[in-house]
Amino acid sequence: MMSLLKDPVLLAAALGTSLPFLSMAVILVFTRQNQRLSATISVGSVSVSLLSSLYLLITLYGAGAPVQYEFPWLLADDIVIPFGYLLDPLSLLMLTIVAVISFLVQVYSIGYMSGDPGFSRYYAFQSLFAWAMMSMVIAPSMLQLFIFWELVGLASYLLIGFYYEKWSASQAGKKAFVMTRLGDIGFFLGLIILVLGFGDLSIVRMNEAGQGHQIPQYLITISALLIFGGVMGKSAQFPLLTWLPDAMEGPTPVSALLHSATMVAAGVYMFSRIFPFYSMSPEAMALALAIGTVTMLLSSTMAMATYDLKQVWAYSTVSQLGFMVMGLAAGGYFAGVFHLTTHAGFKALLFLCSGIFIHEYHTNDFRIIGQQGGRKLMIPMVCMTVGALALSGIFPFSGFFSKEAILGVLANHPNKLWLGAGLVGALMTAYYTFRLIFFMLFPRGVAAAHGVHDAKGSGHGHDDHEGEHHGYIFWTMAVPVMILAGISVVLGFSQSSLESFLMGHGSVPAQLAASGGEGHAAAHDGHGIGHYALLIGAVTMALGGIFWAFMEFGRKGATQEGFLRAFPVVERLFAARWYMDAFLRAFLDKVIYSGLTNVFTRNDRRVIDGGIDGICFFTVAGGRLLSFLQSGMLQYNLLVMIVAVGFVVLYFLLA
């Protein structure tokens, strides 16, 4: 306790990461009835977190070696699993991102959620979410990371299913939880194998040992592949990606939080956390690269076929996460992390803007929002366009810098196929983004569109606010949006300082460079000879996508139908998410429910229940047989007793 007070860094770390938990407890136990107080407590605690994370970032900006506080928590003969804090550039950066986004989202939610009967509950869960994510970020060991990783999953389950009385919302929450759990099984198995084979789960020591070839190669590969299962679940990579588009059943600020700084970012963060460890296994990196690419391309096509505002951003999140995984898997540590950073900013911006529109027009269909005059809401419209430009990767917005960094990494990869996929992805991203923007900016009479999506759309729960669109409610939503738009504009220019911070002495890649690992080249990617050609290529792709969208949706007399209308089969394929949900459903029904579950049910009924019933039957039957001895006749009992005593006496006399 004394050391806590003496060391301001430790104090800030402990205070910043644990206050949201306290606020959750206080809200749930004491202040559920008082909405205003609940919001104050929650926002207050998260602003303390924000301040302490900024303090940590500034104090430790120039610090060489990572600061680590550990105390042993789980002890066995040769296994020590510590608990504590690890403050290195990566975790400081991520901590700041999480704190900033959580803070802005909570401020925004004051307006968005006002009047909701579950207001206090909402803030309790938001605090839980912030606590879990921040504690996960600064975890020094993989086990602690895993524990908070699961808590992040729990918090997002609670928030996605926030409108639990709505069937689709509770289903979406369940789907998110179960699908991410599926990946977590792999994660946990990987950790167990690592403990058995290496005996230490400390991130720093894992990375050092991986680089120093102290862990056998096969062990690295097996555990890296299994741990990647966790990334696949959490960051919605290819086979497990369909939970994320459904996750927008929750309130829009939750989607903003979920899609930018927390939850889905956890997977990519974990990947970059043990990046030196991963990079020692070419097989795992190749698999991650392939899965990232498939995810990015698939979800980009899905985004082309939906008319749901939030769903477009959800698919784009999936595709950008795939892009980050590609960047990391191709060896670009900084590129991946940088894209994670910028993406957190502009994706939160896009969702929060969408939230204002949805709050205003009570629909998720962007065609209807456009027709009802969505562009008249100047602040969100401008901010959303800023976010869209950043997402498409247009200079000077933040997405341009980070996308270009990832493409630079991909260009250095010996196989140019990945670069091509990345460029196609950039084209498609710009296309679907500006398809949405043009629909909203230049609405046409699409009468047929009415009622198509309404059933799924407007149900965001509170239709009881009237005529307060420009009161404090509007401004609590508009101000965070404007801050985020500002961040999206300027963040890109911090690339070089961020790079020197992240790649600086004592950080993960510095160890990489020191030991001559293959991540070394990644540190200086994107500055080679083909740099400018690549730059032009990327920008051309983005502009091409925007132009394509403009030709189809934006210009005067455009049909606003899109090229997909000409290929109804393809459109249906895209809209049905490549039938991945249908496949998973069928898989679940056929293999799990009627196959495995059936076998297990039979086993349960016949073998286990049957065995226990058999034991009971034999016990009862044996009791029946023996009960004939109890005649109830006192004198028979006495006779038996005396005969027995007689035999005993006889025995002793003879012996």
Partner 1 sequence: MNSLNVYLTIGAALFSIGLLGVLQRRNLIGMLIAVELMLNGANVNFMAFNRFLAPDPTVGQIITLFVMGLAAAEAAIGLSIILALFRRLHSINIERAQQLRG
Residues within the interface to partner 1 (CB under 8 A): 626-635, 638-639, 642
Supply the minimum distance, in Å, between the C-beta of residue 652 and partner 1. Answer: 18
Supply the minimum distance, in Å, between the C-beta of residue 635 and partner 1. Answer: 5
Task: Return d(Cα 147, Cα 227) in angstroms, integer.
Answer: 14
CB–CB of 278/217 below 8 Å? no
Supply the minimum distance, in Å, between the C-beta of residue 643 and partner 1. Answer: 10
Q: Compare residues 29 and 634 and give the one whose CB is closer to partner 1.
A: 634
Supply the minimum distance, in Å, between the C-beta of residue 634 and partner 1. Answer: 6
Task: Return d(Cα 277, Cα 279) in angstroms, integer.
Answer: 6
Task: Return d(Cα 317, Cα 347) in angstroms, integer.
Answer: 7
Q: Compare residues 559 and 627 and give the one whose CB is closer to partner 1.
A: 627
Q: Compare residues 500 and 631 and give the one whose CB is closer to partner 1.
A: 631
Supply the minimum distance, in Å, between the C-beta of residue 625 and partner 1. Answer: 10
CB atoms within 10 A of CB 360: 18
What residue ranges in 16-162 does DSSP mark as E strands? 67-75, 80-87
CA distances from 517 to 77, 216, 224, 489 (A): 32, 16, 17, 34
CA distances from 558 to 435, 542, 548, 554 (A): 12, 20, 11, 7
Q: Compare residues 33 and 630 and give the one whose CB is closer to partner 1.
A: 630
CB atoms within 10 A of CB 520: 15
Q: Compare residues 1 and 626 and give the one whose CB is closer to partner 1.
A: 626
Residue among 56, 42, 144, 141 at smallest CA distance from 92: 56
Q: Compare residues 597 and 619 and give the one whose CB is closer to partner 1.
A: 619
Task: Return d(Cα 174, Cα 228) in angstroms, integer.
Answer: 22
Supply the minimum distance, in Å, between the C-beta of residue 631 and partner 1. Answer: 6
Supply the minimum distance, in Å, between the C-beta of residue 640 and partner 1. Answer: 11
Supply the minimum distance, in Å, between the C-beta of residue 629 and partner 1. Answer: 7
Supply the minimum distance, in Å, between the C-beta of residue 633 and partner 1. Answer: 6
Residue among 72, 70, 71, 68 at smallest CA distance from 88: 68
Q: Compare residues 414 and 632 and give the one whose CB is closer to partner 1.
A: 632
**Which neighbouring-strand residues pair with 68?**
86
Q: Compare residues 378 and 626 and give the one whose CB is closer to partner 1.
A: 626
Residue 486 buriedness (CB in 10 A; 0-12 / 13-18 / 19+): middle
Supply the minimum distance, in Å, between the C-beta of residue 621 and partner 1. Answer: 14
CA distances from 446 to 442, 452, 559, 564 (A): 12, 11, 10, 17
**Which neighbouring-strand residues pair with 258?**
none
Q: Compare residues 214 and 637 and give the one whose CB is closer to partner 1.
A: 637
Structure tokens that stand for 28 in this block: 């749930």
Residue among 292, 313, 290, 295 at smallest CA distance from 303: 313
Q: Compare residues 445 and 632 and give the one whose CB is closer to partner 1.
A: 632
Q: Residue 314 corresponds to which amino acid?
A: A
Q: Compare residues 608 and 645 and give the one whose CB is closer to partner 1.
A: 645
CB–CB of 239/208 below 8 Å? no
What residue ranges in 214-273 does DSSP mark as E strands? none
Supply the minimum distance, in Å, between the C-beta of residue 653 and partner 1. Answer: 15
Dihedral sign, Cα of residue 96, residue 100, residue 103, residue 105: negative
Supply the minimum distance, in Å, between the C-beta of residue 645 and partner 1. Answer: 11
Give DSSP secondary structure letters for 288-321.
HHHHHHHHHHHHHHHHHT--BHHHHHHHHHHHHH
Q: Compare residues 533 and 642 and give the one whose CB is closer to partner 1.
A: 642
Q: Compare residues 2 and 629 and give the one whose CB is closer to partner 1.
A: 629
Task: Return d(Cα 3, Cα 146) in angstroms, integer.
Answer: 27
CB–CB of 322/294 below 8 Å? yes
Q: How far is CA 397 from the centre of its chain?
A: 24
Residue among 65, 574, 537 at smallest CA distance from 305: 574
Supply the minimum distance, in Å, between the C-beta of residue 615 and partner 1. Answer: 21
